[in-house]
């Protein structure tokens, strides 16, 4: 995504500076203009599908890129056409060989603030100052229905040469020839009472209310108007609302994203001066954070140990463990987490296990979590999570200091089934401890997979990485080889740990693979990077990294009366998913060696013993057969020793 916004100039094409904005390109990648602050210049070319001048000038633009990209100049395209969808833009890039990132300005906020008139116009921006040093045509080779064999004036190349030499651009504006861009005229400014306040109430006030985690409460028009410039900035940069799923991929329960049409309405209202208008103020009815149990009195209340949060700084993730007081196995149908200090409780995750958590084992028998707006987790109908007698409740808590020291006393409410449900609700993880992120790498990709050996129903997926996580996806590869993108998080934010529950659960055929991919930014441009000079591997601490994708599902042919879940098989399936680096379904010695000499030695012997078809590797079924044979041998030896 790209984050950029513009300050208005004093007339047509009078814009001189650019504000930050974030947009998603035709391939689903997020770009933010301020991210490219280390570039000497950013070139933004206005693209539009079907425009003959855009198509014709492409070779000239590529030639300029070939000259200046090696010198650090960043080249991007911008599409703000009402008629061009992201899919249509992607198809245009394929057909016409457009190998630039085309940013989709669906709400037309960037194009409007740039006062774009035509396609094929190009902007040269100095990203450190956000100054527009040139706008206009690439060169003089093309005009309407006419073209020259060669250009005699090279406006863009000259502007870049002068900019890189530290000089003022001699000709900062040249009229561009291209297709008119239909920027929707500003309609009547939206009503605060009827449109803006209800929108803010739905998308923002859950956090921005008295006692909420938001730093200020949306309790009146006066408050909103005072913060209006900041609201404009965080909406344009997609920092708020904190919903990071790509809206073009999938449909989700409790979707917290702001539609492009709503973003346009809100930003234009702010740019019009955030007028109050007539009518009551709906935000005056925003109430303080509720301390009651929204699902009624729980069957069990678990008090998490109190924790003191300082007034400022960074607080490490906390992993408290609380004993289970119940003296029998129970089936959980829902949970609610009530944060004690709502101003600082960023998120809470809870599961159960046999002992202290390592930070991620909270997902081993996951129950649910809390984030502002999602305090309760209700299991899908007919399912439940089994909590066994003697297990402990394992928690993961993230706190964000807000300027005042406070003590948190968060509570967990557990709601139980009266009778055993029909189906188990299962949790597994696509993960890879084999990740290795090179120093200074700006976009390093790692992936792993989980292959379903039985038909399943998939309910929820949750991507997890640390400070260097840049983007994440989940895709499904069907047995026939076709692949479907299920979730894309193009601007992953470690500060927001969120699960995405499908609006309609997905049926997964046996033999399908759930593929989890994360891109890491280990460059100095990543403001959250602890140290770009380090080669980063797997680790529990935030300065380490993880490829960790949790998913919630059930087996179609499993019931609580007839369990079929094979934990040993699941563990080997998980390991196969990260060791099988080329994803061909066969584990070779070279692939196992990625984890080091110890793993290589271990698997050399395993391959010798288990490679039944003598193809030089282990399939999952061969590995499972070998594992079971070795387990039987160990059992026999133990029995003989007695």
The string of pLDDT tens digits covering residues 115-138 is 999 999 999 999 999 999 999 999
CATH for 426-579, options being 1.10.10.60, 2.60.120.230, 3.40.50.300, 2.40.50.140:
2.60.120.230
Lookup: tokens for 472: 């994440």
> β-pairing, 74-79 with 102-104?
parallel
- Mean pLDDT in residue range 600-629: 89
Q: What is the pLDDT of residue 62?
A: 99
The string of pLDDT tens digits covering residues 134-186 is 999 999 999 888 889 899 999 999 999 999 999 999 999 999 999 999 998 87
DSSP string, 79-131: E--TT--HHHHHHHHHHHT--S-EEE-TT-HHHHHHT--BTT-EEEEETTTTE
State the average pLDDT for the chain.
93
Tell me: pLDDT of 7 over 80: no
Give the Cα separation of 485 and 488 in Å (integer). Answer: 7
Nearest to 236 by CA among 525, 75, 29, 18: 18
Asked if 19 contacts 113 with a C-beta cutoff of 8 angstroms, the reply is yes
Share of the chain above pLDDT 70, in %: 96
Q: Choose between 291 and 248: higher pLDDT.
A: 248
Sign of CA dihedral 109, 115, 117, 118: negative
Tell me: pLDDT of 394 over 80: yes
- Mean pLDDT in residue range 449-470: 96
Nearest to 366 by CA among 356, 379, 347, 355: 379
**C-alpha dist (Å) from residue 554 to 285, 339, 458, 521, 558:** 41, 30, 7, 34, 8
Contacting residues for 277 by C-beta, under 8 A, at least 6 apart: 191, 192, 193
> Which range among 100-114, 181-195, 264-278, 282-296 shows the weakest confidence by mean pLDDT?
282-296
Residue 444: what are its φ and ψ, rounded to 5°?
Answer: -95, 130
Q: What is the pLDDT of residue 10?
A: 34
Q: What is the pLDDT of residue 618?
A: 93
Give the Cα separation of 214 and 627 in Å (integer). Answer: 51
Provide the CATH number for the domain formed by 300-421 in this structure. 2.60.120.230
Where b means 16+ CB within 10 Å and e means fewer, 412-422 reads bbbbbbeeebe
Most confident of 350-359, 416-425, 631-640: 416-425
Asked if 303 contacts 409 with a C-beta cutoff of 8 angstroms, the reply is yes
Contacting residues for 379 by C-beta, under 8 A, at least 6 apart: 332, 333, 334, 385, 421, 425
Q: What is the pLDDT of residue 238?
A: 96
The string of pLDDT tens digits covering residues 553-572 is 999 999 999 999 998 999 99
With bands split at pLDDT 50, 70 and 90, how would you rate the model's confidence at 360? Answer: low
Residue for token pair 């890879």? 432
Nearest to 131 by CA among 19, 223, 211: 19
Tell me: pLDDT of 5 over 60: no
Give the Cα separation of 257 and 269 in Å (integer). Answer: 19
With bands split at pLDDT 50, 70 and 90, how would you rate the model's confidence at 400? Answer: confident
- Mean pLDDT in residue range 381-395: 95
Give the Cα separation of 18 and 78 in Å (integer). Answer: 14
**C-alpha dist (Å) from residue 459 to 426, 453, 503, 630:** 10, 17, 9, 35
Give me the residue spans of the domains in the chain.
4-164, 192-285, 300-421, 426-579, 585-642
Give the Cα separation of 219 and 209 in Å (integer). Answer: 7
- Mean pLDDT in residue range 416-421: 97
Q: Do domains 300-421 and 426-579 have the same CATH topology?
A: yes
> β-pairing, 456-464 with 500-508?
antiparallel
Q: Choose between 513 and 5: higher pLDDT.
A: 513
Q: What is the pLDDT of residue 519?
A: 99
> β-pairing, 426-431 with 456-464?
unpaired
Beta bridge partner(s), residue 124: 43, 134
Residue 198: what are its φ and ψ, rounded to 5°?
Answer: -60, -35
**C-alpha dist (Å) from residue 475 to 450, 466, 506:** 11, 21, 12
Lookup: tokens for 595: 């984890």
> β-pairing, 42-46 with 74-79?
parallel
CATH for 4-164, options being 3.50.50.60, 3.40.605.10, 3.40.30.10, 3.30.450.20:
3.40.30.10
Tell me: pLDDT of 362 over 80: no
Q: What is the pLDDT of residue 603?
A: 82
With bands split at pLDDT 50, 70 and 90, how would you rate the model's confidence at 642? Answer: low
Q: Choose between 483 and 184: higher pLDDT.
A: 483
Tell me: pLDDT of 377 over 50: yes
Instruction: Determine which helix (DSSP H) or strand (DSSP E) holds 626, and give its type and residue range.
Output: helix 620-641
């Amino acid at each position: 995504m790209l984050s950029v916004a513009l300050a208005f100039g004093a007339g047509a094409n009078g814009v001189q500076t650019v504000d930050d904005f974030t947009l998603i390109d035709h391939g689903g990648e997020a770009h933010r203009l301020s991210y490219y602050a280390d570039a000497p210049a950013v070139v933004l070319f206005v693209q539009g599908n079907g425009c003959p001048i855009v198509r014709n000038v492409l070779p000239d633009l590529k030639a300029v890129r070939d000259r200046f990209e090696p010198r650090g100049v960043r080249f991007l395209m911008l599409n703000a056409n009402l008629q061009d969808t992201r899919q249509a833009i992607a198809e245009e890039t394929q057909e016409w060989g457009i190998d630039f990132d085309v940013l989709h300005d669906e709400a037309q906020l960037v194009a409007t603030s740039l006062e774009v008139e035509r396609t094929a116009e190009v902007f040269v921006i100095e990203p450190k100052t956000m100054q527009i040093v040139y706008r206009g045509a690439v060169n003089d080779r093309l005009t309407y229905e006419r073209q020259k064999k060669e250009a005699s004036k090279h406006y863009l190349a000259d502007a870049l040469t002068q900019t890189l030499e530290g000089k003022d651009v001699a000709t900062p504006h040249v009229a561009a020839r291209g297709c008119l861009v239909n920027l929707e005229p500003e309609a009547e400014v939206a009503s605060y009472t009827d449109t803006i306040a209800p929108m803010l109430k739905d998308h923002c006030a859950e956090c921005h209310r008295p006692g909420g985690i938001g730093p200020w409460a949306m309790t009146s028009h006066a408050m909103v108007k005072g913060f209006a410039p900041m609201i404009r900035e965080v909406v344009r940069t997609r920092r708020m609302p904190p919903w990071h799923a790509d809206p073009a991929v999938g449909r989700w329960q409790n979707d917290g994203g702001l539609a492009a049409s709503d973003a346009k309405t809100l930003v234009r209202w702010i740019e019009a001066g955030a007028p109050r208008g007539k009518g009551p103020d709906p935000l005056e009815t925003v109430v303080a954070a509720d301390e009651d149990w929204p699902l009624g009195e729980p069957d069990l209340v678990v008090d998490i140990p109190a924790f003191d949060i300082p007034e400022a700084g960074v607080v490490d993730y906390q992993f408290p463990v609380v004993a289970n007081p119940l003296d029998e196995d129970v089936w959980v149908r829902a949970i609610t987490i009530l944060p004690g200090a709502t101003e600082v409780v960023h998120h809470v995750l809870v599961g159960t296990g046999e002992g202290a958590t390592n930070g991620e084992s909270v997902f081993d028998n996951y129950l649910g979590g809390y984030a502002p707006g999602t305090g309760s987790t209700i299991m899908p109908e007919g399912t439940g999570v089994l909590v066994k007698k003697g297990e402990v409740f394992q928690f993961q808590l993230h706190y964000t200091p807000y300027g005042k020291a406070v003590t948190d006393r968060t509570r967990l409410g557990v709601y139980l089934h009266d009778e055993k449900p029909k189906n188990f609700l299962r949790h597994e993880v696509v993960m890879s401890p084999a990740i290795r992120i090179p120093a200074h790498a700006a976009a390093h990709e790692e992936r792993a997979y989980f292959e379903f050996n039985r038909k399943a129903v998939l309910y929820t997926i949750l991507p997890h990485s640390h400070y260097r996580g840049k983007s994440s996806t989940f895709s499904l590869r069907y047995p026939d080889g076709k692949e479907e993108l299920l979730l894309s998080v193009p601007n992953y934010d470690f500060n927001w740990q969120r699960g995405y529950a499908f609006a309609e659960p997905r049926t997964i055929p046996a033999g399908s693979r759930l593929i989890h991919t994360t891109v890491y930014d280990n460059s100095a441009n990543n403001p959250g990077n602890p140290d770009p000079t380090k080669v980063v591997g797997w680790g529990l601490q935030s300065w380490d990294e993880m490829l960790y994708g949790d998913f919630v599902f059930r087996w179609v042919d499993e019931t609580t009366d007839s369990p079929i879940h094979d934990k040993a098989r699941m563990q080997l399936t998980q390991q196969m998913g990260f060791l099988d680096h080329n994803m061909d379904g066969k584990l070779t010695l070279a692939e196992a060696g990625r984890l080091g000499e110890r793993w290589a030695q271990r698997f050399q012997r395993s391959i010798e013993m288990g490679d039944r078809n003598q193809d030089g590797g282990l399939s999952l079924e061969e590995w499972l057969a070998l594992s079971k044979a070795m387990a039987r041998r160990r059992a026999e030896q133990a029995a003989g020793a007695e």
